[in-house]
A and B are shown apart, each in its own frame.
Chain A
Amino acid sequence: MIEFNAVSKRYPGGHQALKDISFSIADGELVYLTGHSGAGKSTLLKLIPAIERISSGAILVNGQNVSSMRRGAIPYLRRNLGLIFQDQKLLYDRSAFDNVMLPLAIAGFPPKEAGRRARAALDKVGLLARERANPVTLSGGEQQRLCIARAVVNRPSVLLADEPTANVDAEYADDIMRIFGSFHEVGVTILVATHDGGLIDRFPGRVVRLEHGTMGA
């Protein structure tokens, strides 16, 4: 499903974010990416949807080599990935519902079908009652769940989440993990970057550990 082969990432200016990373994630697996902040977790996640490009090595997603993918193919790669990234903003000029509609509009769904799907996704994260609300008026936890709804509304086969529980209370964090769990149950591959050890204890999964840009033992 997702395979890293001797992947390195060096930023312009010389900072070596990742060095010689090799691991693979099977279909339907739940994997945690852990490590201290600055270990390269975010960078690693950004390499998969080609938001950052690798310096050497190869990344395969569903057998497709992301590193050699031409620019025009990248949007279609991203549509099959549900991305929940820390700095990925919601749009505050429209309602929660319209935020979730955006991926469907991009994929070209007919409005009726899209509306149905968007409501289903909002329902899944418990925000159906707030569909008309502007995201600004939502709490941090609600905003995070809205991001999840937006990421899953396309029914991607892979979810990538970067510190999805970083800015929310422990109680909400468990909510979010339960939502991930329900996707995991239906066969979605999930990769979660987190430094919250307690979370991994409560929702067990395989752990890939990064240390200063390299694979831990």
Chain B
Amino acid sequence: MKAWLNQHWQTIAATAGKLAANPLNMLLNSLVIGVALALPVGGYIALDTLRDLAGGFSSETQLSVFLDLDTPRSETTEIQARLRKLPAVASVRFIPREQALARLKETEGIADVVASLGFNPLPDAYLISAKESGDESLARLAAEIKAIPKVGQVQADSAWAKRMDALLRLGRLGVLILAALLAAALVAVTFNTIRLQILTQRDEIEVAKFIGATNGFIRRPFFYLGAMQGALGGIAGCLIAFAGTWLVNRPLREFSQLYGSEFHLRLLSAPETLGVIGAAAVLGWAGAYLSVSKHLWQIEPN
């Protein structure tokens, strides 16, 4: 057991030494892998930010309730209390008609139209979040609310949310395909790197087999090399993603402020970063495995 650990440790140290002995090579390889990884990682960050943004409206379970125009303000509190008591309701937000109008006036192009009306055409309204999503339960809740006096119209805000969702799903599929393709590229890059490494170490492999090295012993450093190269590529990929996020965020913030909102791309979390590096290491290992299986048996002492 101790000998085994010893061997592994020596192999890891020797492999790290081998990588460090050729820093330019290592850097370029890491860069290639890093760029390949940064693309799907960036896509993933962008999608996740969009989803968060869309999630801010918690769309799928939302109902808009419009009161009759002639409802006195005094009754709105009572109606709100009744809405709250409904078991399927998670939260209720009151939007007074003045506020709705003010919001509408801020909207470019509509302000003039609203001003020319001379009166407020908007009713008091509630924004309701239901506890459960799903068309059926939302429809049932809408019917219950409709039964409350003074309620004029109940509208499920799910249409645009569904569209947004479909779009996000499409985007996710795109990122997944991209990730799969680039993962294959990573395996291919490692495959080739390891092939070259096997060729340069041909003499060493031959001698090692000659003096009784098992296939496992000979394969091991290449596996480590592939995994380390992958992990380094993963680190490079995360750094590129971090730098990209940082670069994009400043103009993005300025841009979103112009529209009176504030959003920015989030950074990769620590577990996600580790996940990317780990996945890259596994892919590197896989590339090394394929390469070693293909090339190592061709080298025999003679």
Contacts and interface: CB of A to CB of B under 8 A. Distances in A.
Interface stretch (B58-66, B78-86, B171-179, B204-212): B204-212
Query: Could you tell me the dominant secondary structure of chain B's interface residues?
Result: helix
B207 A88 contact: yes
Given A75-B213, A79-B212, A106-B217, A91 B302 contact: no
Interface in B269-302: 300-302
Contacts of A63: none
User: Which bucket holds chain A's interface residue count?
Assistant: 20 to 34
A90 B203 CA distance: 9
A78 B3 contact: no
A45 B203 CA distance: 21
A102 B211 contact: yes
Given A105-B7, A108-B4, A110-B6, A88 B210 contact: yes
B107 interface: no
A43 B210 CA distance: 15
A83 interface: yes
A83 B207 contact: no
Contacts of B206: 89
Contacts of A77: 212
A126 B276 CA distance: 53
B214 A108 contact: no
A38 interface: no
Contacts, number: 66
Nearest to A90: B207
A199 to B, nearest CB: 25
A157 to B, nearest CB: 13
A83 B203 CA distance: 16
A159 to B, nearest CB: 13
Contact of A91 (B4, B204, B215, B301): B204
Interface string A41-57: 00000100101100000
User: Which bucket holds chain B's interface residue count?
Assistant: 20 to 34
Contact of B7 (A46, A108, A151): A108
Contact of B211 (A52, A79, A93, A109): A79
Contacts of A46: 302
Contacts of A88: 207, 210, 301
A103 B211 contact: yes
B133 interface: no
Nearest to B300: A51
A106 B213 contact: yes
A151 B212 CA distance: 11
A111 interface: yes
Nearest to A99: B207
A99 B210 CA distance: 13
Interface in B164-218: 203-204, 206-215, 217
B302 A87 contact: yes
Interface in A140-171: 150-151, 154
A108 B2 CA distance: 9
Interface string A92-103: 010000000011
A136 interface: no
A83 to B, nearest CB: 7
Contacts of A150: 211
B120 interface: no
Given A51-B302, A75-B214, A87-B302, A102 B207 contact: yes
12 contacts: A46-B302, A52-B302, A78-B210, A79-B212, A88-B207, A102-B208, A102-B211, A103-B212, A106-B213, A108-B7, A110-B6, A111-B6
Q: Name the 7 nearest CB pairs between A and B, nearest first.
A: A79-B212, A78-B212, A108-B3, A106-B213, A75-B212, A75-B214, A103-B211
